[in-house]
Amino acid sequence: MKILVIDDERAIRNSLKEILGDEGYQVDVAEDGAMGLEKAMKEKFDVIFCDIKMPGMDGIEVLGKLTEEGVDSSVIMISGHGDIDTAVECIKKGAFDFIQKPLDLNRILITIKNATDKAALVTQTRILKKKVYGQQMIGDSEPMQHIREIISKVAPSDFRVLIMGANGSGKELVARSIYEQSNRSAMPYIDVNCAAIPSELIESELFGHEKGSFTSAIKQHKGKFEQADGGTLFLDEIGDMSLAAQAKVLRALQEKKISRVGSDKDIEVDVRVIAATNKDLQKEIQEGRFREDLFYRLSAIIIKVPSLDERKSDIPMLVDYFVDQVCGEAAMERKTFTPEAIALLQEKSWPGNIRELRNVVERLLILGDPKISAQNVRDYVMP
């Protein structure tokens, strides 16, 4: 573990360096705020001890700069002139803790342990979020800014949302973003891919079943509506749902009640439904494959997700994101793309949308040069 000590008193710097060094920590020192800030910006430290009263740039200013620059070290403020108001100000500005001089060794070691425990927990949380949530909504093109604006307005409400867009365009990311910004974000988020469930099982999957209601029903099963009670239910590819299941979904939305297969007992549910489809539901309605009344129940708000061909200016940012993601997952050395390679990718048509782009980035990272060139794109991507 690496620790930085920022203090204008040589005796304090040297004693902390010696004591913490004896405890097995790697310790660096800085004699003033400017030097400490420079070191913290260039090198990663797990913990930073920073004195408050220093000539030139004081500790409060150093703390503010570290917070502004996104340095994620745990900063522990130290001072011989501290009071409660100073300690509170430090914590508000992002300090992990505040210790008064004269410094007590046991207090220092306990604070270091607490800081590293917190850092480890934050890291584990980030990893877990990546596993659970997967990708993010990447891009600052005009269509993406428009979608973010709609999400920010819609998310706090309980309005039902219908997300429309081609396969691989990121409909599920829009749904997840709505959920995360909603008042139900602490409650369950349940997603169902309606196209992946056989028509004869979709009702059981959504509404549950009672034991013995059909041959393989060996025990009672709670459906997705019950599992999402109080939270959000994402019905992906709802255009593939059977008409019989559509009728039950309509009833659930109208009455806020469901009944399990094999039971006539009503169960009240409080669920916000977000649906998505890659189909033209108006055409499906005309051809008798989708209920018009259900369409209007689902589509209080309609969000149309642009294809990648409609937001090619986002490709450089998406490529950079996928490079980090793929290299991190595969524990491989990070590669870069030349501007010419990026320009060639922007010229290409993307029928498979974001999903296709990620596959292409993965292929180029495996097969391409350390600095991926336009020729690599021609060799491994272009037809």
Do 218 and 239 have their domain in common?
yes
On whether the CB atoms of residues 98 and 77 are closer than 8 A, the answer is: yes
Domain that holds residue 26: 2-129
379 vs 93 pLDDT, higher one:
379
Please state, in angstroms and as integers, the Cα–Cα distance from residue 225 to each residue in 178, 249, 313, following that order.
18, 9, 39
Do 114 and 163 have their domain in common?
no
Burial class (CB in 10 A: 0-12, 13-18, 19+), 43: exposed
Task: Identify the domain boundary among 241, 272, 306.
Answer: 306
User: Phi and psi of 229, rounded to 5°?
Assistant: -55, 125
In the predicted model, is pLDDT for residue 207 greater than 60?
yes
On whether the CB atoms of residues 5 and 28 are closer than 8 A, the answer is: yes
What is the number of domains present in the chain? 3
Cα dihedral 246→279→269→128 (10° resolution): 140
Could you tell me if residue 53 is inside a domain? yes
Do 274 and 184 have their domain in common?
yes
Do 55 and 113 have their domain in common?
yes
pLDDT band at 130 (very low <50, low <70, confident <90, very high): very low
In the predicted model, is pLDDT for residue 273 greater than 80?
yes
In the predicted model, is pLDDT for residue 241 greater than 70?
yes
CA distance 190 to 171: 15
Could you tell me if residue 137 is inside a domain? no
Predicted confidence (pLDDT) per residue in 152-184, tens digit: 999 999 999 999 999 999 999 999 999 999 999
Task: Identify the domain boundary among 252, 271, 306.
Answer: 306
pLDDT band at 141 (very low <50, low <70, confident <90, very high): very high
CATH number at residue 34: 3.40.50.2300
Do 46 and 183 have their domain in common?
no
Do 160 and 196 have their domain in common?
yes
Do 179 and 259 have their domain in common?
yes
Kindly state the percentage of the chain with pLDDT values over 70. Answer: 96
Could you tell me if residue 67 is inside a domain? yes
pLDDT at 82: 64
pLDDT at 133: 40
DSSP β-ladder status, 97-100 and 232-236: unpaired
CATH number at residue 363: 1.10.8.60
Do 156 and 123 have their domain in common?
no
The conformational region for residue 268 under phi > 0 = left, psi -120 to 50 = alpha, else beta, is beta
Predicted confidence (pLDDT) per residue in 281-318, tens digit: 999 999 999 999 999 999 999 999 999 999 999 999 99
In the predicted model, is pLDDT for residue 134 greater than 50?
no
pLDDT at 71: 81
Predicted confidence (pLDDT) per residue in 55-73, tens digit: 999 999 999 888 877 787 8
DSSP 71-111: --SEEEEEESS--HHHHHHHHHTT-SEEEESSPPHHHHHHH
Do 29 and 116 have their domain in common?
yes
Could you tell me if residue 136 is inside a domain? no
Do 156 and 82 have their domain in common?
no
CATH number at residue 252: 3.40.50.300
